[in-house]
Structure 1
Amino acid sequence: MAFSDASLTALRVFREVAERGTLTAAAAALGYTQSAVSRQIAALERAAGTPLLERRHDGVRLTAAGQIVLRRVTGVVDQLDATARELAGLPAERATVRLGWFPTAGAELLPRALAALRRTDPAITVLSREGGTPALVRALRAGTLDVALLASAPPFRPPDTETPALTVHTLAERSLRVAVPADDPLARRGYLDVADLRGRRWIAGSGDDRVLGVWPGLDERPEIAHTARDWLAKLHLVAAGCGITTVPGALGSVAPPGVRVLPVRGGPGEQRRVLLAHLPRPLPDPVARVAAALRAAALETDTGE
C-alpha cells in the first residue's frame, strides 16, 4: 500500500490527533470511537511504512516522519475543503484568520485588537479560540490556527521542541502582580513587599494549572484556599476576601470593584511575556494585518493609552 492511497478520512483523523494530543480527545472532537481513530491511524502508518506517532502515557507525540506528514496534510486537507466549497457553489472563504489566545489575553488585548481591525480592515473575519500553550502550539503545527498569542514565563524557553521551530515575536514584557481585596490594609500602600505574601491564603488555578496564581519562589508551602480556572472568578473571590492571587499587570485596568492589583517589591522581578507565534513561513496579508493589530494593541495596553 503506497502513501498516495491514504484516505482523506485518515488524513483528517491524523491532523485531529496531532492537534488534540491524544486519541481520546481526537475521537471526541470528531464524533468517532477511539478504536475507529486507532484504525485510521494504523492504516495511515501502514501506507507511510513507518510509525507517525509515539504512544506515551500522557498522549501521543509526532515522530520525525509524523512531522513531515503533518506539514503536508495541512495543505492537502485545506485545498480539498476549498475545492468542495467551490464545487458546491458556495462562496470562497476569503480573508478568514484563525487566531488562538491564552486566557487573560481576552480581558483587554484581544478585544482592543479586534475592535481596531473592524475599523481598519472590515473585510477580515477573525475566528478565535482560547487555550493553553500546549494546545495552541499543537493547533499551529496542525494548521488549524494561523497565529497564536502565547504567555511565557522565565526562563522563556521555546514553546515546543519540534522542528522546524515556530517563529515567535515578543509583543510585550510585563511584571507579574498580585490582586488583593481593596479593603486589605496592605492595599493602602499601592505596592506589596515579598515579605507581605508570607502566611497568606491563595487562589490558584485548577487542574494542570494548579501552581498558577501563587507567587513564584515563596519560601513556604502556600496555603491554597480555592482553585479556579477562570481568571474573573479568581478576582471575584479576591474581592470577597477569600484570598489573594497573581495576575498579569495588564489585568489591573479590568479588575472588578473591590480588587487592587499591586506590584511586588523585593526579591527578583517576576516577568511575563506576551508572544505571537506562527509557523516559520511568510504570513498571508490578512494574517499579517491581524498580527499588526495585535502588536499595536499590546503596545497600547503597555502604555495605558
Structure 2
Amino acid sequence: MATPQDVLPAPAALPSDPGQPAAPLDPEARIVARRKPGQWVAAAIALLLAAMAVTSVVRNRAFQWSVVAEWFTARSVLNGLTLTLWLTGVTLALGFVLGTVLATMRLSTNPVLRTLSWGYIWIFRSTPPLVQLLFFFNIGALYPTLGLGIPFGPEFITVKTVNLVGPTLTAVIGLTLLETAYAAEVIRGGILSVDRGQLEAASALGLGRWRVLRRIVVPQAMRSIVPTAGNMLIGALKGTSIVSVLAVSDLLYSVQLVYLQSYQVIPMLMVATIWYLVITTVLSIGQYYVERHFAKGADRAGLPPTPLQRARATVRRVVSGA
C-alpha cells in the first residue's frame, strides 16, 4: 500500500542560515489536489434526490401526460399564449418609456417634480397588483363619464367609462402603471451607478449633454439596468396571469376554461406551467447574452466563455485525447 511519502515528494529542506538561498524545487514535483469526499457525497445525494423527483413526476399517472400533449398546441392555448406575450411586451415597453420620464423627474433639482414622482412610485409599489386591477376595472363607479374640454369649463366630448374601459384595456392600464413605478427605480439606480467623476470630466472637455448621455451614461448604466430589467421582464410575463380574474383570455384563463368543462385540472395547469417555463427560459438566455454585450470592456481579464463555447472546448479536448 502506497504511503503519502510515495505520492508527494519530500519538501525541500529549509536553509539553516537565512542568508543562504533556498534549495531549488524538484522539477519532478507535482501538486496533488486536496481530496474533498464530503462534496462528492453531497453531490451524489443531491443527484439521487433530483432523479427521484423527476421519476415521480414522469411516472405519476395523475399528471395525464397524454392530455398535456394533446392540449399543449391547441388553438385556444396558443391564442392565450399570444395574448400573454402581447400584454407583456406592451406593458413593459410603455412602462420603461414612462419610467424614464419618472426617473428623470426623480433626479431633477425641482422639488415639486421629485415629490410627485416619489409619490407615484410610493403608491404603486405599496399596493398589490390585483387590488390595482380591480380598482381600475371598477373605475366606472367613481367616474361614470370622461370628458374633454376646457378645465373648469364646458366639455366638448363626453364618453361613458363603461363603454371605454374594457377588461383588456384595464389590464394594459393597470400593468403599465405598475411597471412604470418599478422601471423608474431601475433606471434611476442605473444612472446613479455611473461615476460622477466621469461626468465632471466630460463636462470639463466641453461635451454636450446628449453626447455625454449617449456615450458615457447609457453604456455604463445599462450594466446595472439590464439584469434588473431582465428580471422585470420575466416577472411581468408571470404577472400577466392575474388578469384572468378580469376574464381576459390570457394563457391561464384559456386553460381554466378547458378544465372547468373537462375537469382535467392537473394536466391543463401543467400545460400552462410548461409554456411559462419555455418562455422564461428563452428570455433568460436572451438576458444572458445582452448582459455579456454590455459587459464588454468592464472586465479587463475578458469575458468568460459561454456555455456553448465551453461545450465545444470540452468536445475538442475529448476528440484530441482520443
Q: Same fold (TM over 0.5)?
A: no
* Structure with max Cα Rg: 2
TM-score bucket of the superposed structures, by smaller chain:
under 0.3
TM-score normalised by structure 2 residue count = 0.21
